[in-house]
């Protein structure tokens, strides 16, 4: 984005040569112009310098040894963790700084998400909802990151962030209303299931096209920077989305414009049916952040406490230093990509079952809670029984509700519908009245009167 200086008077009217004084800058525009002025300061090559001091490669040492940089010669970016697969703290001097109340909320939100996923997957197979995507194996990334953010931070998510919404207070009724696209759905039935949104919770609507939320999040972060806000933007996506051009454009803009955005990439091993080994040759997604000049960290996505700590630090850096941060969270996708996918066509079932039982974020955190005597098997069974009941009750309530009124087919394009839309509404009403037996409107709010 380039901010243009005001046109001269002669350029505007083509007559007078008088140069008018520029209008006073708002605080936001003054801040932006000062940032650009600093960023465009000239870079000069010093005489007899031992380094390249050039805009394209600042401070690169000269060498007389011809050597190509080989990726395999460089160490892989390490993966940060606090708690191992047995639920034990790796470094006893660095016990997670979290209260029992917060820890139990995080655990319960993960459990609730996993049970909801299972029930909704089964309901799709029964034909009661049209589509669903589960987040099995990745609950720790969603809930752990959400626990580290301010409630006012802006979220751009993909489609496995049920745990983020759960943690922020999105209710079971709100989940079910969206899945059934009933009259209480915030999207008014216009979007696919699992495409949640919440203006109250500062969560933008999920979009089906892959990776479109990444540049959107950068634009929002740039706006917050210009407003000198105390909020940041957090953008979630999978490693498959990082193969899209939107990812590269977004990271480059975020880095060059110093946007306060935290990118959280869920690297779950598969982009639909394509394993990571066939997606890229480099060191995961984290290496790309470094390539774009972005502070980057890789974290064990099955360790919810490590995810929380990393996200807290990333948020602090993004806000105080006004710059982007990339977090790559590693967690195996133990579910099918969606209800439209059969993952056993491209991976062994025994591999999936091994990951389910050997290590997942819910089991790991339960072991840690039990080691601290904060949780027990009886409590766990009681929680799961109650959560299942609550979800089924919300499911039943949402399933009985009417679909949004037919008028929503034409609304929200403009603040006030134009004549062309009113004519289309009238034509639809005429057809329905002329052929009443062809249109069953009982399922829609207010029936024919809703048009």
Reported as a pLDDT band with limits 50, 70 and 90, residue 354 is confident
| DSSP label of 198 | B
Q: What is the mean pLDDT of residues 196-219?
A: 96
Reported as a pLDDT band with limits 50, 70 and 90, residue 20 is very low
The active-site residue, picked from 16, 51, 130, 208, is 208
Reported as a pLDDT band with limits 50, 70 and 90, residue 43 is low
Q: Are 366 and 139 in contact (CB under 8 A)?
A: no
Strand partners, 80: 299
Whether residue 18 is predicted with pLDDT greater than 60 in this model: the reply is no
Instruction: Indicate the SS3 state at residue 261.
Output: strand
In CATH, the number for domain 92-400 is 3.40.50.970
The active-site residue, picked from 195, 204, 336, 337, is 337
Reported as a pLDDT band with limits 50, 70 and 90, residue 19 is very low
- Give tens-digit pLDDT for 246-278: 999 999 999 999 999 999 999 998 998 888 888
Least-confidence region, from 23-27, 45-49, 163-167, 215-219: 23-27
The active-site residue, picked from 229, 258, 273, 338, is 338
Q: Which of 293, 38, 266, 274 is nearest to 144 (CA)?
A: 266
Whether residue 172 is predicted with pLDDT greater than 60 in this model: the reply is yes
Give the whole-number percent of the chain exceeding pLDDT 70.
89
Least-confidence region, from 21-30, 223-232, 309-318: 21-30
Residue 48 confidence (pLDDT): 79
Angle at 171 between CA 312 and CA 441, to 5 degrees: 140
122 assigned to active site: yes
Question: 430 CB contacts (<8 Å, ≥6 apart)?
Answer: none
How far from 294 is each of 105, 238, 382, 437, CA to CA, in Å? 32, 18, 45, 61
Residue 56 confidence (pLDDT): 67
Q: Are 350 and 288 in contact (CB under 8 A)?
A: no
Q: What is the mean pLDDT of residues 107-125?
A: 97
Q: Are 239 and 268 in contact (CB under 8 A)?
A: yes
Whether residue 210 is predicted with pLDDT greater than 50 in this model: the reply is yes
| DSSP label of 83 | B
Residue 46 confidence (pLDDT): 74
- Give tens-digit pLDDT for 388-410: 999 999 999 999 999 999 999 99
Whether residue 14 is predicted with pLDDT greater than 60 in this model: the reply is no
Whether residue 178 is predicted with pLDDT greater than 80 in this model: the reply is yes
* pTM (2 d.p.): 0.88
Whether residue 4 is predicted with pLDDT greater than 90 in this model: the reply is no
Tell me which of 358 and 40 has the higher pLDDT.
Answer: 358
40 assigned to active site: no
Reported as a pLDDT band with limits 50, 70 and 90, residue 7 is very low
The rounded mean pLDDT for the chain is 90
Q: What is the mean pLDDT of residues 90-118?
A: 96
Domain residue limits, the chain = 1-64, 92-400, 406-450
Least-confidence region, from 9-13, 207-211, 341-345: 9-13
The active-site residue, picked from 49, 51, 95, 122, is 122
């Amino acid at each position: 984005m380039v901010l243009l200086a005001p046109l001269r008077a002669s350029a505007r009217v083509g007559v007078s040569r008088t140069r008018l004084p520029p209008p006073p800058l708002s605080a936001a525009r003054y801040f932006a112009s000062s940032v650009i002025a600093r960023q465009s300061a000239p870079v000069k090559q010093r005489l007899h310098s031992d380094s390249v001091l050039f805009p394209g490669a600042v401070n690169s040492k000269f060498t007389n040894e011809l050597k190509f940089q080989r990726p395999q010669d460089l160490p892989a970016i390490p993966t940060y963790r606090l708690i191992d697969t047995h639920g034990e703290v790796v470094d006893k001097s660095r016990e997670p700084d979290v209260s029992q109340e917060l820890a139990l909320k995080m655990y319960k939100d993960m459990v609730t998400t996993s049970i909801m996923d299972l029930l909704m997957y089964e309901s799709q197979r029964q034909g009661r909802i049209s589509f669903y995507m589960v987040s099995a194996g990745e609950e720790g990334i969603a809930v752990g990151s959400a626990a580290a953010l301010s409630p006012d931070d802006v979220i751009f998510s993909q489609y496995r962030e049920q745990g983020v919404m759960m943690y922020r207070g999105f209710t079971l009724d709100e989940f079910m209303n969206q899945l059934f696209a009933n009259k209480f759905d915030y999207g008014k039935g216009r979007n696919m299931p699992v495409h949640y949104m919440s203006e109250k919770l500062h969560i933008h609507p999920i979009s089906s096209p892959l990776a479109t939320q990444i540049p959107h999040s950068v634009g929002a972060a740039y706006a917050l920077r210009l407003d000198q806000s105390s909020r940041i933007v957090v953008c979630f996506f999978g490693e498959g989305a990082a193969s899209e051009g939107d990812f590269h454009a977004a990271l480059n803009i975020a880095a060059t414009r110093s946007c306060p955005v935290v990118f959280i990439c869920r690297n779950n091993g598969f982009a639909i049916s394509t394993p990571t080994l066939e997606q890229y040759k480099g060191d995961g997604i984290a290496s790309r952040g470094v390539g774009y000049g972005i502070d980057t960290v890789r974290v064990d996505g099955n360790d919810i406490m490590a995810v929380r700590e990393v996200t807290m630090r990333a948020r602090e850096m993004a806000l105080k230093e006004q710059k982007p941060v990339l977090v790559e969270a590693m967690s195996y996708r133990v579910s099918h990509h969606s209800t439209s996918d059969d993952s056993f066509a491209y991976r062994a079932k025994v591999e999936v079952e091994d990951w389910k039982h050997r290590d997942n974020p819910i089991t790991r955190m339960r072991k840690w809670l039990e080691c601290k005597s904060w949780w027990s098997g009886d409590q766990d069974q009681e929680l799961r029984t109650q959560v299942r009941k609550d979800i089924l009750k919300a499911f039943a309530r949402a399933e009985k509700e009417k679909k949004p009124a037919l008028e929503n087919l034409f609304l929200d394009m403009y603040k006030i519908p134009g004549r062309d839309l009113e004519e289309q509404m009238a034509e639809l009403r005429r057809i329905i009245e002329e052929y009443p037996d062809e249109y069953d409107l009982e399922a829609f709010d207010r029936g024919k009167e809703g048009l």
